[in-house]
């Protein structure tokens, strides 16, 4: 693909993760299998540590919220304080985390910390997060904590970004989310360029006034002819050039 010019006024790049900075297959082909294999051993080794207890408590709060909202979920207490049987309690945590993974859930905020710590902290220190060779501000449905682990333990070492946003700021398919991000980073929407592989996210960002580039990577969903003609497309960030 040819080079793509982004406005010379661009002061901030906002990047999606899965399918944009990271192969779309990484989560399901590398991350999830590792979790399934090692999560129970990790919990057994760290069960009495404060961080693990906090994660389990937050997971319990998420289950309570699911029950209040009449969402289907494994009906377990998931709480160290009510179990004398440590092995049973650990199995319940594992079952719930695996259920969340299978449901491809992106739960919000602190209530999701157990999922992000357990699903992320277990392994990014062992598995090296796989990043495309051209990674600023990150906006992903994965929690901020999980984002930092991904970029902090990549195959290229600690790949720094300026800031991170997750769906606490709003859904990625809603234009208000991008308006909120622009306000938080103190940059007008027209001076932000957003890169994503998802056309619905691109549409929402465009409606908020951001410049948008669609990223075409191996394994990403095929774009329609209309999407290909409407948006600027890149297969590598190296194709981006400032206009003027």
What was the pLDDT predicted at 110? 32
What was the pLDDT predicted at 74? 60
Q: From the CA atom positions of the chain, what is the Rg in Å? A: 19
Predicted model pTM: 0.67
What was the pLDDT predicted at 127? 44
Architecture of domain 27-121: Orthogonal Bundle (1.10)
Specify whether the CB–CB gap between 190 and 209 falls below 8 A: yes
Domain spans of the chain? 4-22+130-242, 27-121
**Regions of the chain short of the pLDDT cut 70:** 1, 70-84, 104-135, 153-161, 244
- Structure tokens, 229: 């003609």
**From CA 39, how far away is CA 141, in angstroms rounded?**
22
What was the pLDDT predicted at 12? 86
- Structure tokens, 244: 């003027």
What was the pLDDT predicted at 133? 43
- pLDDT, tens digit, for every residue of 143-173? 787 777 777 766 666 666 678 998 889 999 9
4-22+130-242: CATH topology: Rossmann fold (3.40.50)
- Structure tokens, 164: 């991170």
């Amino acid at each position: 693909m040819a080079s793509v010019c982004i406005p010379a006024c661009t002061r901030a790049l906002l990047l999606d993760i899965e399918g944009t900075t990271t192969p779309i297959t990484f989560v399901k082909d590398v991350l999830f299998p590792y979790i399934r294999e090692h999560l129970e051993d990790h919990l057994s080794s760290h069960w009495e540590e404060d961080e693990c207890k906090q994660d389990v408590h937050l997971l319990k709060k998420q289950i309570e919220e699911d029950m209040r909202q009449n969402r289907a979920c494994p009906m377990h207490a998931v709480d160290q304080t009510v179990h004398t049987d440590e092995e049973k309690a650990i199995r319940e945590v594992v079952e719930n985390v695996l259920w969340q993974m299978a449901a491809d859930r992106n739960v919000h905020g602190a209530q999701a910390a157990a999922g992000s710590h357990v699903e992320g902290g277990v392994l990014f220190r062992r598995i090296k997060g796989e990043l495309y060779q051209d990674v600023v501000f990150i906006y992903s449905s994965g929690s901020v904590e999980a984002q930092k682990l991904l970029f902090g333990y990549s195959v290229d070492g600690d790949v720094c970004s300026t800031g991170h946003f997750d769906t606490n700021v709003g859904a990625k398919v809603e234009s208000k989310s991008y308006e909120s991000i622009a306000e938080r980073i103190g940059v007008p929407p027209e001076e932000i360029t957003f890169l994503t592989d998802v056309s619905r996210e691109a549409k929402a960002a465009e409606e908020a006034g951001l410049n948008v580039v669609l990223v075409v990577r191996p394994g990403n969903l095929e774009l329609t002819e209309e999407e290909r003609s409407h948006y600027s497309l890149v297969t590598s960030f190296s194709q981006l050039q400032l206009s003027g």
